[in-house]
Amino acid sequence: MTDALVMIGTRKGLFLAWSRNGGAFEVDPVRFSTIGVHAVAIDTRGSTPRLLAAVEYGHFGPSVMWSDDLGRTWQESERPPVAFPEHTGTTLTRVWQLQPSPAEPGVVWAGAEPAALFRSEDGGQTFTFVEGLWEHPHRPHWQPGGGGLCLHTVVPHPSDPASIGIAVSAAGFYRTTDGGASWSASNTGIRAPFMPEGQQYPEFGQCVHKVVLHPARPERLFLQHHFGVYRSDDAGRSWTSIGDGLPSDFGFPIAVHPERPDTVYVLPLDSDMNRVPAGYRYRVYRTDDAGGSWRALSHGLPEGPVHASVLRDALCASEAGVYFGTRDGEVYGSRDDGESWSLVARHLPDVLAVRASLL
């Protein structure tokens, strides 16, 4: 497989960038023009790659589209693929996450707003509601973050389908070990400095921005918080700060190297109150020792000043390279683990999500 595909979901459409045989990227014409694409996924588990896109049709509502011909044509279920059961009295606002399960063929997870989890067993065509999370006693007390009460991250175990982690803004990280029937808050050690003194390590209420793991070490998780970067070595039961050495521990995205489980990427922003790249420069920070130390990587990126931030799903690392998209419509990529960067696309709408794969 020598062709690299970068899926780019934006505020106004989906863009597919292709690199053929290692050459420069070329961007296909926009799909779903003027429609928000908030989550994308490239599912390579089957004989034919499937592309998934969570779209938002304005007053027609959100939906999930899929393509089995690399984006040339797209399909949608006859009924809304993600919908709350009538007994919840709730209406779907947005699909924030589409995550194929590495342990179960055909299974795709969807994270939604209001915060809820959905499961598909037909590759993302139709989804069923996960009652166990909805019935958790904490859920009525969850408070929305700045972007809403959204379940934005699903972290399935690479080999145990019963073990899944999810992150909700601004409720925290939750885990299940029985396939979603029951859930436990897993935020021990994560500080919430906006809480009163003596209450800054609550059971839940942390504003988690993103969580990742590497399949070779599924017990180790990395987490970007609203106020900190953390690592867990016990599958999320407890967390330790690894933000020392970064210019700021505020940011949204975090990604793990596809082959090296101790290599992680973050893109720090200046602060909660000044959401621009730290130092007004795009610099991706990489650790090769699981957070013990960090190094800035910026060769080939603009010298600055730059002002556009990078959202939680707009940074990814895969066998195709490391890629990130900005809120002013630029996408950058690296094929040497972040040592050097080149422009993949520019003049796009606000970039919301980026995923990449070799095909």
For the chain, domain boundaries: 37-323
Domain 37-323, CATH class in plain words? mainly beta
Element (H, E) at 210: strand 208-214
Query: Is it true that the peptide bond before 170 is cis, omega within 30 degrees of 0?
Result: yes
> Residues for the chain: how many in total?
359
Give the pLDDT of residue 194: 84
Task: With 0.85 as the threshold, say if the pTM is over it.
Answer: yes
Name, in order, each residue with C-beta under 8 angstroms of 219's C-beta and a sequence gap of 6 or more. Answer: 233, 234, 235
Name, in order, each residue with C-beta under 8 angstroms of 340's C-beta and a sequence gap of 6 or more. Answer: 299, 300, 334
Q: How many angstroms separate the first and last alpha carbons of the chain?
A: 5
The structure tokens listed for 352 are 């919301």
Q: What are phi and psi for residue 54, nearest 5 degrees? A: -90, 115
Give the pLDDT of residue 161: 97
In order of 90, 91, 134, 275, the CA distances from 87 in angstroms are 8, 11, 11, 39
The Cα–Cα gap between 328 and 281 comes to: 14
Element (H, E) at 134: helix 131-134
The Cα–Cα gap between 67 and 63 comes to: 14
Q: What letter represents residue 177's amino acid?
A: T
List, in sequence order, the alpha helices (H) in 60-161.
Answer: 131-134
3 and 359 Cβ atoms separated by less than 8 Å = yes
Q: Which residue numbers in the chain have pLDDT < 50?
A: none
